[in-house]
């Protein structure tokens, strides 16, 4: 019964820990950054990890510059790699009251505060008044009208209709040598043209030219059927065919600057490169224990596929092990916003000062039309000796002949919930092994070995069972538990390897670390791991042949197979 409660408790912790650890995050966005006076714009207030029953926030700060036409609420739940995330979005339909650069002030919601936004409101285009004598017409625009190869251009079409549309189809632009993709969902709002109110359907596209030269964007057409509400036969499906076309537009595409070099060509509206995870003043970094650094590259106007892979410069006195990258592209108004994030486990190999060199990335700022450089400054970290390394110098052994590098198994993983899951599985295996051992002991005669090594023998048997299971996390956990019955001061597998005098055992630990931490496949299996330790631990000794441990050895003894 105790084992069952332990298993259930760990699985409940695994399921609840991510939800408990995530903090509520709030964000405000506008569906458009520029509108004409008389048009509506939607303010979206998004709350991440929101709880149910949340009320609409106070919107009175908007009354000075906007008329609030209506509100809506939408919630969503997604599960990615076993982690559940929820979000709640409040939609607020706004109509600007006057022309100018209007401010959306910071709003308080769900205990957080949004960033202020700016909306550019321009006067209605007097040339558009000629089209208002029609019930249906279209507009199109591209921003900017001149760009570079690989730069995202925003192409927008708008369908205006002052009648009821029953059926209709809006064609998409077809361009040779240009990647075309729709950005977000269609927007629906109202606008005034020449004193007449129209419903508007707005559709956005990302255009990414692949070749330099002049590109012609052909006219985009709409074909549909309109229903006349004053027609007595309209109830029975009587309708009139209607059509409209957006005008063709030309754009100039420039080539990459001739002196750019071999670096990745990154034409973006905005780009940032950051590094998180530096230790604080109270944090201690020791030899053999990993320092987890997270590098993030974000760019507005580029999809993540256009961003280069992230890496650290060569390190003197440490090894860096990258985790699986996190990538994605989101919508920032009409623009694509790509993101790459890479976490590195930096494992110091010696005490002293570890220098992480600066990381630089050059990119082309399309707003200023010049080259910019994003940089992570160099950083120095003080590395202390490994715990208990006074008698034995602790270091990370060199890579094995097969190229597999050694990483401490006690490393704090960079993707926490995946490793929590693996740790929970390891604990479940250990719990089952403990249950099996108690059942076996009840069935066997109650005898105590004459050498008094009952605890060590139990640790050895648990290790043998874990080795045969093929689970690297359980193998590392049981091997450390066994070693600590003889050397209680050992903290992780790096220290264990440094304290052993047998090359075969050190190599076996290296392969185990590689499988457990870096998730790299090796030719090693559980039988070879168990075989390396079948004679017990071969401990290193200091001058005079005395064992550096304060405890007398209980081993070696032969392993029963």
Instruction: Return d(Cα 54, Cα 108) in angstroms, integer.
Output: 13
Other CB atoms within 10 A of residue 308 CB: 11
Quote the pLDDT of residue 226: 83
Report the predicted TM-score, pTM, of the whole model to 2 decimal places: 0.55
CATH number of the domain at 98, please. Answer: 2.60.40
Instruction: Return d(Cα 507, Cα 520) in angstroms, integer.
Output: 15
Rama region for 82: left / alpha / beta (φ>0; ψ in -120 to 50; rest): left
456 neighbors 408 (Cβ within 8 angstroms): no
Stretches where the chain sits below pLDDT 70 are 1-24, 38, 50-53, 77-85, 124-133, 228-238, 388-421, 424, 435, 437-454, 517-525, 542-561
Structural domain including 108 reads 2-122
Number of domains in the chain: 4
Structural domain includes residue 275:
yes
Quote the pLDDT of residue 415: 46
Structural domain includes residue 18:
yes
Structural domain includes residue 161:
yes
Rama region for 529: left / alpha / beta (φ>0; ψ in -120 to 50; rest): alpha
Quote the pLDDT of residue 96: 87
Same domain, 456 and 369: no
Structural domain includes residue 408:
no
Same domain, 529 and 425: yes
Same domain, 535 and 482: yes
At residue 435, φ and ψ (nearest 5 deg) are -60, -45
Structural domain includes residue 405:
no
Structural domain includes residue 507:
yes
Quote the pLDDT of residue 24: 58
Quote the pLDDT of residue 76: 72
Same domain, 34 and 106: yes
120 neighbors 101 (Cβ within 8 angstroms): yes
Two tokens, residue 305: 């596929």
Structural domain includes residue 559:
no
Quote the pLDDT of residue 179: 93
336 neighbors 36 (Cβ within 8 angstroms): no
47 neighbors 86 (Cβ within 8 angstroms): no
Choose one of 384, 405, 431: the last residue of a domain: 384
Structural domain includes residue 396:
no
Peptide bond into 556 cis (omega under 30): yes
Same domain, 92 and 159: no
Quote the pLDDT of residue 267: 97
Rama region for 16: left / alpha / beta (φ>0; ψ in -120 to 50; rest): alpha
């Amino acid at each position: 019964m105790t084992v069952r409660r332990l298993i259930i408790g760990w699985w409940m912790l695994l399921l609840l820990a991510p939800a408990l650890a995530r903090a509520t995050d709030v964000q405000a966005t506008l569906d458009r950054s520029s509108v004409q006076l008389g048009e509506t714009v939607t303010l979206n207030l998004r709350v991440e990890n929101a709880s149910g029953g949340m009320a609409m926030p106070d919107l009175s700060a908007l009354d000075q510059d906007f008329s609030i036409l209506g509100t809506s609420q939408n919630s969503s739940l997604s599960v990615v790699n076993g982690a559940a995330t929820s979000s709640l979005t409040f939609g607020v339909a706004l109509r600007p009251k006057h022309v100018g650069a209007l401010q959306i002030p910071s709003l308080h919601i769900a205990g957080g505060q949004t960033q202020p936004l700016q909306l550019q409101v321009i006067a209605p285009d007097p040339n558009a008044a000629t089209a208002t004598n029609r019930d249906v017409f279209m507009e199109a625009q591209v921003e900017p009208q001149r760009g570079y190869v690989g730069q995202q251009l925003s192409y927008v079409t708008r369908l205006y209709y002052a009648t009821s549309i029953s059926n209709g189809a809006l064609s998409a632009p077809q361009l040779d040598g240009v990647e075309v993709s729709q950005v977000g969902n269609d927007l629906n709002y109202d606008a005034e043209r020449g004193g007449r109110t129209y419903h508007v359907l707005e559709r956005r596209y990302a255009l990414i030219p692949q070749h330099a030269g002049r590109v012609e964007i052909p006219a985009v057409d709409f074909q549909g059927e309109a229903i006349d509400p004053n027609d007595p036969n309209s109830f029975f499906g009587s309708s009139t065919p209607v059509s409209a076309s957006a005008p063709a537009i030309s754009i100039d595409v420039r080539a990459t600057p001739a002196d750019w070099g071999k670096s990745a060509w990154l034409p973006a509206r905005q780009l940032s490169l950051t590094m998180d995870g530096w230790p604080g003043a109270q944090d201690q970094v020791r030899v053999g224990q990993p320092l987890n650094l997270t590098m993030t590259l974000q760019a507005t106007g580029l999809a993540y596929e256009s961003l280069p892979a992230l890496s650290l410069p060569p390190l003197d006195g440490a090894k860096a092990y990258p985790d699986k990258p996190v990538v994605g592209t989101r919508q920032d108004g009409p623009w694509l916003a790509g993101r790459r994030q890479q976490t590195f486990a930096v494992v110091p190999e010696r005490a002293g000062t570890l220098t992480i060199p600066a990381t630089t990335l050059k990119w082309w700022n399309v707003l200023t039309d010049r080259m910019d450089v994003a940089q992570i400054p160099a950083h120095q970290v003080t590395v202390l000796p490994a715990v208990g390394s006074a008698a034995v110098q602790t270091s990370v052994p060199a890579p094995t002949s097969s190229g597999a590098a050694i990483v401490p198994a006690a490393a704090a993983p960079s993707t926490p919930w995946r490793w929590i899951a693996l740790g929970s599985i390891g604990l479940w295996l250990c719990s089952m092994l403990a249950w099996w051992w108690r059942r076996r002991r009840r069935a066997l005669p109650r005898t105590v070995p004459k050498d008094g090594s009952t605890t060590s023998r139990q640790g050895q048997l648990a290790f043998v069972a874990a080795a045969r299971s093929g689970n690297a996390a359980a193998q590392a956990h049981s091997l450390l538990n066994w070693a600590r019955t003889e050397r209680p001061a050992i903290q992780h597998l790096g220290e264990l390897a440094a304290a052993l005098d047998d090359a075969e055992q050190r190599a076996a630990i290296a392969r185990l670390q590689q499988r457990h931490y870096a998730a790299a496949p090796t030719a090693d299996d559980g039988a070879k791991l168990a075989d390396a330790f079948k004679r017990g631990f071969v401990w290193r000794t200091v001058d005079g042949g005395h064992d550096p441990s304060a405890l007398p050895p209980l081993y070696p003894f032969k392993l029963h197979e």
